[in-house]
Every structure is written in C-alpha cells, then in structure tokens.
C-alpha cells in the first residue's frame, strides 16, 4: 500500500523543487509563481496529500497552457 501523505522532502522530490522552497511556500503562499499546494500540520509535522499535489500539478499545467 502506498502512502497517502508525503513529507516535505518527498513532496519536493515528487514535484522537482527543493525542500527549502516548499518551506518558503508555506509562508509566501506561492510555489514556482503559482498558488502553493495545501499542506497539513499534524502535530509538528508538515505533510502533503498526494492527491493535492497531483491536483496542484494539473492546475499549473492548465494555467501554463492558458498563457
């Protein structure tokens, strides 16, 4: 069974960004010039749902095609 949630490092690898860029995106609300994917805070841990990352990739692909 594959995990439903990614750590910051896994999410960064999955999308091609650095973990520090993901950290910064939580403060700025932007990742790669687009609205950042939503993150979950579980205790002190930050996690990203794989489905949310896939939806984010799809949104930026559509926005990029519209430019």
Q: What is the pLDDT of residues 10-65, one digit of tens each?
A: 999 999 999 999 999 999 999 989 999 999 999 999 999 999 999 999 998 887 76
pLDDT band of 67, cuts 50, 70, 90? low
CB atoms within 10 A of CB 59: 13
Q: Could you tell me if residue 10 is inside a domain?
A: yes
Q: Could you tell me if residue 58 is inside a domain?
A: no
> What angle do the packed helices 8-15 and 19-28 form, to 10 degrees?
100
Domain holding 25, by residue range, is 5-51
Cα separation of 9 and 23, whole Å?
10
- Model's pTM, two decimal places? 0.85
Q: Could you tell me if residue 60 is inside a domain?
A: no
Q: Could you tell me if residue 32 is inside a domain?
A: yes
Q: Could you tell me if residue 67 is inside a domain?
A: no
Q: Could you tell me if residue 40 is inside a domain?
A: yes
Number of domains the chain is built from: 1
CB atoms within 10 A of CB 43: 5
Q: Could you tell me if residue 64 is inside a domain?
A: no
Q: Could you tell me if residue 22 is inside a domain?
A: yes
């Amino acid at each position: 069974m594959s995990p439903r949630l990614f750590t910051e490092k896994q999410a960064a690898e999955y999308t091609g960004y650095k973990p520090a860029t993901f950290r910064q995106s939580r403060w700025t609300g932007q990742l790669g010039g687009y609205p950042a994917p939503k993150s979950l805070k579980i205790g002190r841990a930050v996690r990203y749902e794989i489905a949310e990352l896939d939806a984010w990739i799809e949104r930026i692909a559509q926005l990029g095609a519209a430019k």
